[in-house]
Structure formats: structure tokens, C-alpha cells
Amino acid sequence: MAEPGSPSVLAERLLDRSDIDIGEEERRVLAAIAAGTASSRDVNDEATAQASFGDRLSDRVAAVGGSWSFIIAFALVLFGWMLLNSEILKRVGLAFDPYPYIFLNLMLSTLAAIQAPIIMMSQNRQASKDRLAAQLDYETNLRAELELLRLHHKVDELLAARAQSELRELHDKIDRLLADKGPD
């Protein structure tokens, strides 16, 4: 037979399900309750621990590529490129990419072709992180709910014990009164 505070007993008592019928999240929460340890975890720590080098790189590229600093710097480079190839280098006959800027268009297309999947990887990672956050929230909420149920059970047991004690006292009082009154 299982110990009174074991996860399988807690599953039966608190969830009205057997240990076999519960999911991994419930199993983790019940084990933490049985062990008396904290079960909450930080989603950022969990996501960082699971992240590969490629994941961290895609997050960094998405962070840089989606910033105003990048947009402003990129716009300055584009205007500089166009100015350089339209006016300055064209005057001396050294313009390597004159209007319509075919090489610039090729580089921009290449950059977009590389940057788009990297940003998608970062978005997929963020979606995965959001799912992990939802799972951890569920575990925390379940832990709180189960702890409240345990407290309710304890309060019910205390109230029942108190009522039992008061009932015994009342019986004793009645017995004393009947004994004092004597037989009629």
C-alpha cells in the first residue's frame, strides 16, 4: 500500500483519478507536493536551458533586424550606396553599380531571403516559449488548487474532530446529569 502523502495517494484523493490516469504535468505537481518542494519554474530559465546556438542566434538576428537602429542604419547605407553610384563615382567613371542598382537589388534580395527564415525561426521559438509558459502556468495553478483542496480536507478533519470532541463532552455532561438525578 502507498504512503499517505505519496503522489499516487494524492492523485486519488485530490484529483479523483489513479496515478496511471494523470498526465506528466499533474505527476510533476503531485511529486512536488509529496516532497514538500516548490514546483514553480521561470519560463525564461527553462527556455534558455533548452535553446541551441542556432536558436540564440536567430533570436539575436531578429532582435537586431527588428530594431529602429537597424532600419535607420540600413536606410543610410542604401542612400549612401545610391548617392555614391549615382553622383560621386559616376563623375569619375568608377560607378560599379549605376542606376538601376542591379547589384544592390541582388544584395537586398539575398538579405531578405536569408533574414526571413531566420526571423521565422525566432518566431517559432517564441511560440514554443509561449507554450512552455502556458504549461508552467498550468502547473502552478494546479499546484495552488491542489494545495487549497488539501487545506480544505485538513480544515474539514479539524472541524470533524472538534465536533466529535464536543459531542463526547455533551454525552459526558448528559451522563453526569442523569447520574446526579438518580433513578426515578
Q: Please give the average per-residue pLDDT across 94-100, as a whole number.
A: 89
Q: Please give the average per-residue pLDDT across 8-36, as a whole number.
A: 80
Regarding whether 149 and 61 lie in a shared domain, the answer is yes
174, with CB counted inside 10 A (0-12, 13-18, 19+), is exposed
- 147 belongs to a structural domain: yes
Regarding whether 10 and 81 lie in a shared domain, the answer is no
The torsion of the CA quartet 98, 103, 107, 109, rounded to 10 degrees, works out to: 100
In whole angstroms, give the CA distance from residue 146 to residue 183. Answer: 55
- 118 belongs to a structural domain: yes
23-56 residue pLDDT tens: 888 888 888 888 888 877 888 888 889 899 999 9
- 58 belongs to a structural domain: yes
What is the Cα gyration radius of the chain?
35
Regarding whether 99 and 165 lie in a shared domain, the answer is yes
- 145 belongs to a structural domain: yes
- 46 belongs to a structural domain: no
The boundaries of the domain holding residue 58 are: 52-181
Report the percentage of the chain scoring pLDDT > 70.
Answer: 96
In whole angstroms, give the CA distance from residue 6 to residue 73. Answer: 60
- 24 belongs to a structural domain: yes
Residue 79: other Cβ atoms inside 10 A: 10
In whole angstroms, give the CA distance from residue 150 to residue 146. Answer: 6
Regarding whether 56 and 34 lie in a shared domain, the answer is no
Regarding whether 97 and 16 lie in a shared domain, the answer is no
Indicate whether 1 pLDDT > 60: no
What is the DSSP code string of 54-80? HHHHHHHHHHHHTSHHHHHHHHHHHHH
* 122, 56 Cβ separation under 8 angstroms: no
Regarding whether 69 and 31 lie in a shared domain, the answer is no
Is the alpha carbon torsion for 53, 58, 60, 61 positive or negative? positive
Regarding whether 103 and 15 lie in a shared domain, the answer is no
- 177 belongs to a structural domain: yes
- 44 belongs to a structural domain: no
The total number of structural domains that make up the chain: 2
In whole angstroms, give the CA distance from residue 25 to residue 135. Answer: 8
